[in-house]
């Protein structure tokens, strides 16, 4: 699997995906959706959807967080996702067993890009982390927010136009 973008490799992608990871949250994780050709990461409060280009034999399934971290540290990086997840590193390929737990149905919560304006309250830390996850360079930066209504997910696109998008849940306005 390679990520679609300006020459991105798995090191950059893993940095982006790690921004969404919440080690204390059992709902978090990363999933390769081979049919949609995207890598999806969630911590239960936000979701990042990153376009990928599949390699021969790549199949849908969970991608272990340890494999994401290994890809980030690798000097050479690609990830093969069929059966186990294999990360190519300078020291040779490393295999990670795919978790067999179910990943949330991300398509059920994903929304089309909204067109209507509204106001919402949001957590700036989550927006900062999601920005880093979505941008091709893995750094926090400009994002576009598409707000349909105060009680709906906020559709987030990076300003670098790399095809990624994410969703950020609005905060309860009563607090």
Instruction: Read off the CATH number of the domain in which 74 is found.
Output: 3.10.150.10
pLDDT in tens, 66-81: 887 777 777 555 678 8
Mean pLDDT of 18-39: 73
Whether the predicted model's global pTM rises above the 0.75 cut: no
Whether residue 153 lies inside any domain: the answer is yes
Whether residue 30 lies inside any domain: the answer is yes
Contacts of 101 (CB under 8 A, 6+ apart): 62
Whether residue 45 lies inside any domain: the answer is yes
Predicted local confidence at residue 138, as pLDDT: 85
Reported confidence tier of residue 22, pLDDT bands at 50, 70, 90: low
Range of the domain at 147: 2-168
CA gap 48, 114 in Å, rounded = 17
CB distance 71 to 10 below 8 Å: yes
CA gap 20, 7 in Å, rounded = 22
pLDDT in tens, 78-119: 678 888 888 877 788 889 998 888 888 899 989 888 776 666
Domain count of the fold of the chain: 1
pLDDT in tens, 116-132: 666 678 888 889 999 99
Residue 102 buriedness (CB in 10 A; 0-12 / 13-18 / 19+): exposed
Whether residue 157 lies inside any domain: the answer is yes
Whether residue 173 lies inside any domain: the answer is no
pLDDT in tens, 44-55: 778 888 888 888
Whether residue 175 lies inside any domain: the answer is no
């Amino acid at each position: 699997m390679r990520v679609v973008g300006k020459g991105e490799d798995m090191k950059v992608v893993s940095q982006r995906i790690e921004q969404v990871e919440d080690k204390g949250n059992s709902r978090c994780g990363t999933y390769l959706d081979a049919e949609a050709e995207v890598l999806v990461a969630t911590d239960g409060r936000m979701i990042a959807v990153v376009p990928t280009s599949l390699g021969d034999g790549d199949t849908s399934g969970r991608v272990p967080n340890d494999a994401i971290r290994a890809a980030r540290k690798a000097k050479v990086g690609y990830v093969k996702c069929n059966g186990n997840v294999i990360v190519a590193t300078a020291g040779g390929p490393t295999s990670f067993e795919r978790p067999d737990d179910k990943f949330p149905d991300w398509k059920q919560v994903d929304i089309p890009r909204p067109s209507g304006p509204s106001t919402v309250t949001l957590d700036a830390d989550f927006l900062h982390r999601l920005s880093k996850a979505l941008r091709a360079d893995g750094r926090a930066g400009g994002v576009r927010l598409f707000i349909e209504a105060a009680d709906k997910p906020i559709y987030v696109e990076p300003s670098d136009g790399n095809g990624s998008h994410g969703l950020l849940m609005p905060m309860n306005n009563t607090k």
